[in-house]
Amino acid sequence: MNSENNKKQDFVKEIFVLILLMGLIVVRFFPIGDDNTFIKCIGFIGVLVSLGDLYVDADKLYSSYDKFNIIRGLAYLLAIILAIILVLLLTEVIPIDSKWSDVFTLLALMISLPEKWYLNKIGKYITKGKR
């Protein structure tokens, strides 16, 4: 039964990420111009989605080993920092040019593609090799 719940949760998570990313792609093609701040922030939002996906998977795998909620605490701290950066980007306090937009896209790929490697490293740290 637990395995079936995990499969359902994984499916819902993957559908959510897929719909969110497809929505960002559609928004990108709206005729609002390339100088729009939200359009420039789409790459950064992709980084946030990738980190959120990594957090959900790490928490699901290692929450029983994480007695002091290290994963959750670091994720909350990182989320606060990234939310502040997003607000600064949206208010144009931090300017985004095409170079930074490309960097954000590559960061999102760097986080999401080797996810199993990151989960393995997180697991070794959290479980201290017990798993």
User: What pLDDT was estimated at residue 84?
Assistant: 93
**Is 31's pLDDT higher than 80?**
no
- Is the model's pLDDT at 106 over the cut of 70? yes
Distance CA 70, CA 63 (A): 9
Average pLDDT over all residues of the chain: 83
Nearest to 54 by CA among 114, 129, 128, 124: 114
Q: Where are the domains of the chain?
A: 2-127
Model pLDDT, residue 130: 67
User: What does the alpha-carbon distance between residue 80 and residue 76 come to, in Å, rounded to a whole number?
Assistant: 6
Confidence of residue 87 (pLDDT cuts 50, 70, 90): very high
